[in-house]
Structure 1
Amino acid sequence: MLTSNKLWYTIRHLETTNEQQDIMPSVTIKGGVKLRGEVPIYGMKNAVLPCIAAAILTKESVTLKNVPQITDAINMLNIIKSLGGTVEWVDEHAVKIQCNNLNLDTLDKKLVKSMRSSVLLMGSLMARFNQIELSEPGGCIIGNRPMDDHIAVFKGFGAEINRIEGGLKFSATKLQGSTFFARFSVTATENALMAASLAEGETVIKLAAREPHVSNLVDMLIAMGAKISGRGTSTLKVVGVEKLSGCEHIIIPDQIEVGTFIAAAAATRGELFLKPIVPEHLDALFALMEKIKLPYQVKDDVLHIMPNGSLKAFKLQTGPYPSFPTDCQAPFGVLATQASGTTLIHDTMFEGRLGYINELTKMGANATICDPHRVLITGPTPLYGREIRSLDLRAGVTLVIAALIAEGQTTIHDAQILDRGYYKWRERFQAIGAEIKTEMPKEVESLVRTI
């Protein structure tokens, strides 16, 4: 029997070695459960990663608080350690980062290539060193996510960009402020903010992403001494400074986690209390909850999701903030299987984010994929336990919800992918009534004894 700590460290070991092929864990979930209780909401995955990258911008100490120990955050910190930075966990959710002596030659390129979010290193490393060589990053396979927006950003700063074997080389004498369009790309906006903070002159970022985690990064950069105006708008102005200082910064609660547990509560006809939340970050979710007649109450930083009767089918279209977040699309897809009528889901952001539908149909869902962006789901339909597979982070947690409402037992393979973005997801679901067992191949059981 694996304890949660042993499982956690085993998965982290497998994620960063060649030993992960065909020996990753699966989970078995008993269906027919109504989730009830309190769920802690941890720091946001999409906020902590750019903030870790931003620590490279200064030689002084940076302390980040409310940090979830998810594998993506651990891997980003390991990349900083590979450069020569130091990382110290002050407590379970606070990490101290020092980047005073960095060496680009020791960058762990294999780790960079393994995660999509490593693209965020461009802004901070270019600002610090004026040159970098990066492997094209990996991550979840959820559609075509080209580097074009990032290349356009650094060309705007005056960088020369060349293709090299397995990646790209960026170089500049000194980054120069300029005006350009980020086309609402979150990571391109974040890279531009980091680079502009130490560039010469003024930078104007038009069509900037307005997501809460972009504003969270702006808050951190301002605390470090950056001169940024336009926070929360689609036009950001940055006046470069000579150097940035250290800071303490708090990562915002994860509104995608909130959306995930909203869908889980509604699908299982359960009752959950989610804390802490930032209500102003959740307008699109609240609007949909009202549309489908899902009762809820907000008091201070607590969201109370109440038991529901019959849910109505809905139309859902994702888009840049403040529209409905693409990362919540899949969990609401499984909810649609339990709603009365036909639901139309249109993901305008990514063309490969409907792969989970094939797994749901194996379980009995009545769904038709119209094209790579749209799906029709008719409900309510019963789901049945099957053997299914996690395709990406958000699809993985969606299948957990599907398993909870299914008749019988469901086995989800490649479940480790959830650890990339949901800290202690097993424990949190178990605490509110889920019966989840983790199964490891024998090869991993023996590996546990050596770690």
Structure 2
Amino acid sequence: MAEDVIKVRGGSTLTGQVDISGAKNSAVALIPASLMASSGTVRLEGLPEISDVKTLMSLLNDLNIKTDLTGTTLEVNAEDAVNMPLPNNKVQSLRASYYMMGAMLSRFKKCVIGLPGGCPLGPRPIDQHIKGFEALGAKVTNEHGAMYLTAEKLTGAKIFFDVVSVGATINMMLAASCAEGRTVLENVAKEPEIVDVASLLNNMGANIKGAGTDTIRIEGVEKLHGTTHNIIPDRIEAGTYMIVGAIAGKNYKVNNIIPTHMESLSAKLEEMGVKLDIGDDYVVINKPESYNAVSLKTQVYPGFATDLQQPITPLMFLADGVSKITETIYPARFRHVDELSRMNAHIEKKSGSALIYPSQLKGAEVYASDLRAGACLLISGLIADGVTTIHNVNHIDRGYADIVKKLESLGADIWRETLED
């Protein structure tokens, strides 16, 4: 069986400009939200060209919803939507398919959906989602590996989340938008993607206030309608390319960013000695002569993003001294460490943290276990001696549009190959 791999030869200096795509973590919620419009067309502009978008379009098509994707613009007409059980194979390839639950429950008052998949990052339970749906009046059961959600009607409620969860926050905004009465969500996540989803829903006729703070208030409305919405830039893709610039950039410019979304990363890069020239919607980066060792701890937004923990690791091999990463969101998120060891990396895993020692990486055959681990290995290849071959690149394609072309245009020695078994 043929397999696509990405190969990188290290040592190139990168220069030029790269444009950041729309936010993956917004897109995967905005597309399910579009099915809630019972009249008119929802037009989403600036979507990233990634496989997750195609998977979600396919799920909408299974519900008799018309979709039309032209470049980065998706038009969704859900006027003739039909409630159907969603196929397990598609749902299992994409964790964010759980947003279909909140959207379908809001629109149809019932849904049947397989258990969500996505990147294997250890336990990421959906108990907070279920707790919220039940508080709004839904009955939730798990039968034969599928979730069954039904409600005679949804009624506003006060919901306090036991843990801060982006997924549960968005799912409750979807479900509560057309519930009767007022819903108050407390201890919610504050990520920019949540503000983006609330903005789309409000443009569709919802009444949501407080997105971006720790309390969100939703007055239920009867129905939602079509609108046009421009997605925010992807702060994780932006962060990944900023790290690439910090490692190998000279007059290297990252366009289409929102600088306030990047503050935790920008501060850490500057602490390491990287020179950043930050504009209104761009940053110019020049790699320094030497790097300082640092400690970082992942936290919920606006803290350091867990999704950038793996991509920033290669930068720390260049530092003078030992750096430390502490992972508080997904303590199991260190599967990339064994792969880095194949590349001659000196890195020690301890429970929930890693010590990173100065190392000269060497090209090797490595395997991406998940999306951000794939980005980490690709960045490592940029500084390694020789050629690095990255397998399981489908993980990388889920979250980075045209990453090989983008890096090649900046001067990286990188290419795709199809290997015959």
For Structure 1 versus Structure 2, the TM-score category normalised by the shorter chain is: over 0.9
C-alpha contact (below 8 Å) 1:388/1:411 kept by paired residues: yes
Look up the match of 1:208.
Answer: 188
Partner of 2:319, secondary structure, is coil
Look up the match of 2:7.
Answer: 28
Q: Calculate the aligned-residue CA RMSD, in Å.
A: 1.3
Look up the match of 1:272.
Answer: 252
Among 167, 174, 177, which residue is 1:197 paired with? 177
Amino acid at match of 1:335: L
Amino acid at match of 1:143: G
C-alpha contact (below 8 Å) 2:273/2:291 kept by paired residues: yes
C-alpha contact (below 8 Å) 1:202/1:238 kept by paired residues: yes
**Structure-2 separation of matches of 1:281 and 1:339:** 25
Cα distance, 1:397 vs. partner? 1.1
Look up the match of 2:114.
Answer: 135
Cα distance, 1:36 vs. partner? 1.3
C-alpha contact (below 8 Å) 1:295/1:305 kept by paired residues: yes
Q: 1:296-335, aligned counterparts within 5 Å?
A: 296-335=276-315
C-alpha contact (below 8 Å) 2:247/2:287 kept by paired residues: no
C-alpha contact (below 8 Å) 2:50/2:397 kept by paired residues: yes
TM-score normalised by length of structure 1: 0.91
Question: Runs (4+) of structure 1 moved beyond 4 Å?
Answer: none
Amino acid at match of 1:322: P
Look up the match of 1:349.
Answer: 329
Among 200, 209, 220, which residue is 2:200 paired with? 220
Look up the match of 1:115.
Answer: 94
**Structure-1 separation of matches of 2:392 and 2:251:** 29
**Structure-2 separation of matches of 1:269 and 1:285:** 16
Q: Percent identity, aligned pairs only?
A: 34
Q: 1:235-314, aligned counterparts within 5 Å?
A: 235-268=215-248, 270-314=250-294
C-alpha contact (below 8 Å) 1:70/1:423 kept by paired residues: yes
Q: 1:40-439, aligned counterparts within 5 Å?
A: 40-59=19-38, 60-89=40-69, 91-105=70-84, 107-182=86-161, 183-268=163-248, 270-371=250-351, 373-379=352-358, 381-439=359-417
C-alpha contact (below 8 Å) 2:86/2:113 kept by paired residues: no
**Structure-1 separation of matches of 2:420 and 2:346:** 37
Q: How many pairs are equivalent? A: 419
1:18-75 Cα distance to aligned partner (Å, 9 max, x none)? xxxx643112211111221101101010011111010011122100000112001110
Cα distance, 1:404 vs. partner? 0.9
Cα distance, 1:270 vs. partner? 4.0
Of Structure 1 and Structure 2, the greater strand share is in: 2
**Structure-1 separation of matches of 2:140 and 2:193:** 28
1:367-401 Cα distance to aligned partner (Å, 9 max, x none)? 00011x2100011x210011111111001011111
1:282-307 Cα distance to aligned partner (Å, 9 max, x none)? 11112112211111011221111123
C-alpha contact (below 8 Å) 2:62/2:84 kept by paired residues: no
Amino acid at match of 2:101: M
TM-score normalised by length of structure 2: 0.97
C-alpha contact (below 8 Å) 1:357/1:367 kept by paired residues: yes
Cα distance, 1:441 vs. partner? 3.3
C-alpha contact (below 8 Å) 1:47/1:252 kept by paired residues: yes
Cα distance, 1:106 vs. partner? 5.7
Structure 1: segments with no counterpart, 5+ residues: 1-21, 444-451
**Structure-2 separation of matches of 1:105 and 1:222:** 26
**Structure-1 separation of matches of 2:85 and 2:267:** 48
Alpha carbons of structure 1 residues 362 and 271: separation in structure 2 relative to 1, 3 Å: farther
Cα distance, 1:268 vs. partner? 2.4
**Structure-2 separation of matches of 1:425 and 1:218:** 29
Among 409, 418, 421, which residue is 1:440 paired with? 418
Structure 2: segments with no counterpart, 5+ residues: none
C-alpha contact (below 8 Å) 1:313/1:343 kept by paired residues: yes
**Structure-2 separation of matches of 1:290 and 1:307:** 11
**Structure-1 separation of matches of 2:334 and 2:187:** 27
Of Structure 1 and Structure 2, the greater helix share is in: 1
Alpha carbons of structure 1 residues 269 and 65: separation in structure 2 relative to 1, 3 Å: closer
**Structure-1 separation of matches of 2:100 and 2:73:** 21
Partner of 2:57, secondary structure, is helix
Look up the match of 1:13.
Answer: none
**Structure-1 separation of matches of 2:101 and 2:366:** 36
Partner of 2:357, secondary structure, is strand
**Structure-2 separation of matches of 1:101 and 1:179:** 32
Cα distance, 1:103 vs. partner? 2.2
C-alpha contact (below 8 Å) 1:144/1:351 kept by paired residues: no
Cα distance, 1:435 vs. partner? 1.6
**Structure-2 separation of matches of 1:105 and 1:42:** 32
Cα distance, 1:311 vs. partner? 0.7
**Structure-2 separation of matches of 1:269 and 1:426:** 16
Cα distance, 1:257 vs. partner? 0.9
1:231-255 Cα distance to aligned partner (Å, 9 max, x none)? 2101000000001111100110011
Cα distance, 1:269 vs. partner? 5.1
Cα distance, 1:162 vs. partner? 1.2
**Structure-2 separation of matches of 1:269 and 1:107:** 45
